[in-house]
Amino acid sequence: MYELNPTDVYKARALFEPLMGYQMFCAGVLDGLYQGRVFVDDTANPQSGFVTKDGVWWFLAGSPNNQTFNKALNTA
């Protein structure tokens, strides 16, 4: 699991597109309007992702069967 720099958050955007119309905090983090953290399984070609804002809002997207990412997320 890799944390994206704020300038690289766009790489995870496609994973979260289905949520962004309904989840304003998820959209805000990915649009750079809110501070948050974005984690992905692969920085070049993300298939799974996790967005968090303020330690209260959490959003998961992508492949639900990504065992390596799921294990890393569960450990974190």
| pLDDT tens-digit map of 14-51 | 999 998 889 999 999 999 999 999 999 999 999 999 99
Distance CA 11, CA 48 (A): 11
- Is residue 61 within 8 Å of 48, Cβ to Cβ? yes
Model pTM? 0.90
H runs (alpha helix) in 1-76: 13-20, 24-30, 67-75
Residue 5 confidence (pLDDT): 94
Q: Give the angle subtended at the CA of 24 by the CAs of 33 and 34, to the nearest 5°.
A: 20
Q: How confident is the model at residue 76 (pLDDT cuts 50, 70, 90)?
A: confident
Average pLDDT along the chain: 92
Distance CA 44, CA 16 (A): 16
Residue 12 confidence (pLDDT): 95
Over residues 8-19, mean pLDDT: 93
